[in-house]
Structure 1
Amino acid sequence: MVESAAGPSGKVPAALRALGIPLVLAGLGLLAGQWLTFDIKGDGGWYGLLSSGLLAIGLYGSAQGIAHPHSRSDVYRIVVAITVGVVAKAAFIAGVLRLAFPDHQEYLVLAVAMAQIDPLSVSAMLENRDMSPRAKSLLAAWASFDDPVTTVLVVILGSMVLENPQSITAGTQSYAVTLLGNLGLLLAAAGLWWVVRDTKPSNASWGSVSAGSVSARQIAQYGALAAVLAVAVWQFWMLGLALSALFFRPRLGAWLDRATGLALVVATLLLGILLARGADFAVGALLGAATFSAQIVVASLVGLGLSRRDRISLCFSQQNGITAIILALLLEPRLPDAVAIIAPAILVVNMLHVGTTGVLGQIRTARMPVVKAGPSRTDEATAAHDC
């Protein structure tokens, strides 16, 4: 029997606990923000490097969810989801905001920042979600790789829409330069990996490493990875970094998960500190509702050909987390309302996810046929003996 999201397995409480941890961290940051203040420079500085570094760790960590598609036909679905799907979601959200706030053109950038699915939340959700392996593979790849696409779109659209048309970091002043830079980083990473990769086949997975077993080649791999991350942060070439993560995979063990978790903690605390300046719940609530609705529209098209159960699960899979938080931090120097709007939007999206999946789980449980246990073989043999 498959338990519902709100059933005896306690999946809704688990989801609420997962939502509660970021809320506690943001609350701690909010308290700290009552006394701690700092100036955010629009030209980057330590704040820009910190935000870019957090995003780089989050994007590289999300590559863990990218595995081989369940079937070849899903490659097309994944490509559509992370390209046309991201743009369609951003356009839908932007259209809603444009109708509600026609005088705020800068809100279009916030629409793009929310048009992705949090890979960390999806990874935890898939362990208990009632979906086929094919749908899980599709959603995992979708959530993992729409983040860098969204990030690049935020940089490009932000430079065109916001009043201060400067790049978030140096070296991304135009669309062409951004693409060429990302391509250069990708090629350089491929060359480095060709030099430092393991030439002998190993039974260990790419994510396994034990204490005392680090070889000189692994040290070289770690150094090369650090160099790729440093360049990506310096020039904000996040798309090239994410593409490199598809093959640049030294055995990091649990360290990558720990680094990603630490990045989420730092980003959430920083979000809370900035949120002490105030929150715009009206715009944030509308942004969150539009984001959740956009996923329903796009997923219903991407999921064509899948079972009805899988399509519904994809439609209600929207969650926002580390990437949306860090993009809000990156946009804050040029768009002072970014954190005030995106923070409540994230809360609305995740609450809608918990509520809809809980109701969906209850409905599916209620529709499941009740199987009555018949007499056992022992009982039948006893009855025959009595006769």
Structure 2
Amino acid sequence: MVQFLILLSATLCGALLQFFSGVDIHTGDRGYEVLVSLLLAVGLYGSVRGIELSIVRTDLRRIALAISIGVFAKAALIGGLTNVLTGNLTLALMLGIALAQIDPVSVAAALSGGGPRGPVVSPRAQNIIRAWCSFDDPVTILMALALYSHLGAESGMNTSSFLGELLGNGALVAGGGLAALAARRIKGMGWVETPVLAAALVVSAVYGLMLTPAILGLFLRPSIDRSLNMLTLGALYGSAFAVGLFLKGEAAVTMGMGVVVGAIVFCVHIVVAAPLSLGLPAKDRVFLALAQQSGITAILIALLFEQLKPGVVALAVPAILIVNLLHLCTNRLVAHRIMRMPLD
């Protein structure tokens, strides 16, 4: 609840600044592209770093289906229904990818805020949703970057060759591997991981080498949990403020459509979660069906696509807010009923 209100407030502050000052953001600037890419790199690294492999083993098959078929099915369904609504396939595809994932920051906040009565669902369901949101975040970011690269190439934007990207990613991953090895094998060298990680994220953002953060998140894990959490939350609220700057007067026409897109996203998740939760207790199935939340990844992907398709943000922002509002309301409404359901 608190995070939703802060997110809404940050977006409104950006919108008010835009309304009174008329400030304009030039999405074609190189600085804008690098900044958004850097935030995506940090988010991608944080998502993979947050994956606890131990919890994946409990429901490996179910989680594998959720982050493979489930993610692509959600993106396709959201994109298809949005295309019917907007009549613009490219825009619909961008929104489908941007809004398909479940925000891990929001999920972590929701699970930690179970209240004095404790969590209302089983640890197994909590493990499933933790793994689902941790894995589908990097999957959708990589999908977005692939589409961005494809559309950018068609628009005449400079893109690295496949071989150049492969070598670049390989060099950065090798550097990260050497830093991790030195930290573990050489006494007093633990400090080297953090600067190497920071440098790798910056270079990957500048040159578009986005496989690097995903791979480094698997093994290069310096003790920066608190700093990374603060950076992620700061990026979330800063991004929410930034998207508010895109909500100009003419964007108000499309914001109503964005509300409908948000409802589509929430309903699509219910449809996709239903077969993936078969065999679980009723309480857990309800929990997973109503688990859709959107956050920093959706905002950053929308900001990325805004360079190629102006108007993406104006549709994505109300959709994100509606998704989170629906999550908040539906979970509050069913909480008492879920508490009466047996865990098994």
Please, what TM-score do these two structures have when normalized by structure 2? Answer: 0.87
Q: Corresponding residue for 1:361?
A: 335
In 1, Cα distance between equivalents of 2:95 and 2:164: 20
Higher normalized helix content (fraction of residues)? 2
In 2, Cα distance between equivalents of 1:50 and 1:103: 27
Deviation at 1:336, TM superposition (A): 0.7
Q: Corresponding residue for 1:68?
A: 53
What letter corresponds to residue 32 of structure 1 in structure 2? Answer: L
**Pairing 1:274-293 to 2, within 5 Å after superposition:** 274-277=246-249, 278-279=251-252, 280-293=254-267
* 1:106 to 2:91 alignment: yes
Q: Corresponding residue for 2:283?
A: 309
Per the alignment, do residues 121 and 166 of structure 1 end up closer, same or farther by CA in structure 2, a change over 3 Å counting? farther
What is the SS of the residue equivalent to 2:185? coil
Equivalences, count: 334
Per the alignment, do residues 178 and 19 of structure 1 end up closer, same or farther by CA in structure 2, a change over 3 Å counting? farther
CA RMSD of aligned residues (A): 2.7
Match for 2:213 among 210, 222, 241?
241
> Cα deviations across residues 169-202 of structure 1 (Å, max 9, x unaligned)?
843x7xx5698368626742552344333238xx
> Cα deviations across residues 136-163 of structure 1 (Å, max 9, x unaligned)?
1121121122122112212323455689
In 2, Cα distance between equivalents of 1:87 and 1:317: 17
Q: Corresponding residue for 1:146?
A: 136
348-357 vs 229-238, which deviates more?
229-238
In 1, Cα distance between equivalents of 2:25 and 2:145: 22
> Cα deviations across residues 14-62 of structure 1 (Å, max 9, x unaligned)?
x2x22100111111111222315234243x5111111111222222223
Deviation at 1:351, TM superposition (A): 1.0
Q: Is the 8 A contact 1:158 1:165 kept in 2?
A: no
87-96 vs 297-306, which deviates more?
297-306
Per the alignment, do residues 29 and 138 of structure 1 end up closer, same or farther by CA in structure 2, a change over 3 Å counting? same
What is the SS of the residue equivalent to 1:246? helix
What letter corresponds to residue 337 of structure 1 in structure 2? Answer: G
> Cα deviations across residues 280-338 of structure 1 (Å, max 9, x unaligned)?
22321222112111211221222223222112111110000111111111111211101
**Pairing 1:118-267 to 2, within 5 Å after superposition:** 118-127=103-112, 128=114, 129-160=119-150, 165=155, 170-171=159-160, 180=166, 184=170, 187-188=173-174, 191-199=177-185, 217-267=189-239
What letter corresponds to residue 82 of structure 2 in structure 1? Answer: L
What is the SS of the residue equivalent to 1:72? helix
Structure 2 residues not aligned, in runs of 5+: none
Runs of 4+ in structure 1 over 6 Å off = none
260-269 vs 70-79, which deviates more?
70-79
* 1:117 to 2:102 alignment: yes
Deviation at 1:219, TM superposition (A): 2.7
Please, what TM-score do these two structures have when normalized by structure 1? Answer: 0.78
The structure with the largest alpha-carbon Rg is: 1
> Cα deviations across residues 331-350 of structure 1 (Å, max 9, x unaligned)?
11211101100000001101
Q: Is the 8 A contact 2:63 2:128 kept in 1?
A: yes
* 1:83 to 2:57 alignment: no
